[in-house]
Amino acid sequence: MIFIAVRFTARPDRADAWLDLVADFTRATREEPGNLFFDWSRDVDDPNRFVLLEAFADAEAGAAHVASDHFRAGLDVMAGAIATTPEIINVEVPQHGWGAMAELAPRTA
């Protein structure tokens, strides 16, 4: 699995609209056959910062994502709304999607 984490800092005047701005990109990416997840979060300490966690089944799926029309269109939209160059972590991990956390489970009583 290819796991990617990206931190985006939106311009203050675009932060509240960020999720709407990336909605088409998000929807199209989630529909890709090799996409495992594509999830946005907003930083609780900095409302202008968003974190994207995404994963693809393999390198081929990741390459298809980067070559897609919606990827280029998404970058174009985000370029007009970011305040700084995004930061990224991109690694290959030997699992397929999310696993259960061994250290924590719901309390039953």
Q: How many helices (H) and strands (E) does the chain have?
A: 4, 4
Residue 45 to residue 58: CA distance in whole angstroms: 33
Check residue 27 and give its pLDDT.
98
Check residue 63 and give its pLDDT.
97
Q: Which residues of the chain have pLDDT under 50?
A: none
Q: Are strands 2-9 and 87-92 parallel, antiparallel or unpaired?
A: antiparallel
Residue 81 to residue 101: CA distance in whole angstroms: 35
3-state secondary structure of 87: strand
pTM of the model: 0.93
Check residue 109 and give its pLDDT.
82
